[in-house]
Amino acid sequence: MLIEEASEFYKERVKSSFESLTENKLVIQQMEQQQKQSISGVQEASRNLQSQITSQFAELHQILTEKEQRLLRDIWKEENKNW
């Protein structure tokens, strides 16, 4: 009889531990999913920032190229005005 009682006692403890571990597993899986979503959001923000930086530098490059052309034209006009 003592073996059966001990067996039932440990069986309940194992069952309780298993249920606790199952709950912990679910919590960890939810946390993992949240972290993946967070990482995905950060990656998307990074791609957007990279695109914005590239666009802004292209715009600045165009502005500087136009200014360079104007200045070169002005120099050419000044040189030809004196001849």
Q: Is residue 27 part of a domain?
A: no
Total structural domains in the chain? 1
Q: What is the pLDDT of residue 41?
A: 98
Q: Is residue 67 part of a domain?
A: yes
Confidence band for 6, pLDDT divided at 50, 70 and 90: confident
C-alpha torsion 68→74→76→82, nearest 10: -160
Mean pLDDT of 14-28: 97
Domain span at 55: 35-83
Q: Is residue 13 part of a domain?
A: no
Q: Is residue 76 part of a domain?
A: yes
Compute the residue count for the chain.
Answer: 83
pLDDT in tens, 27-73: 999 999 999 999 999 999 999 999 999 999 999 999 999 999 999 99
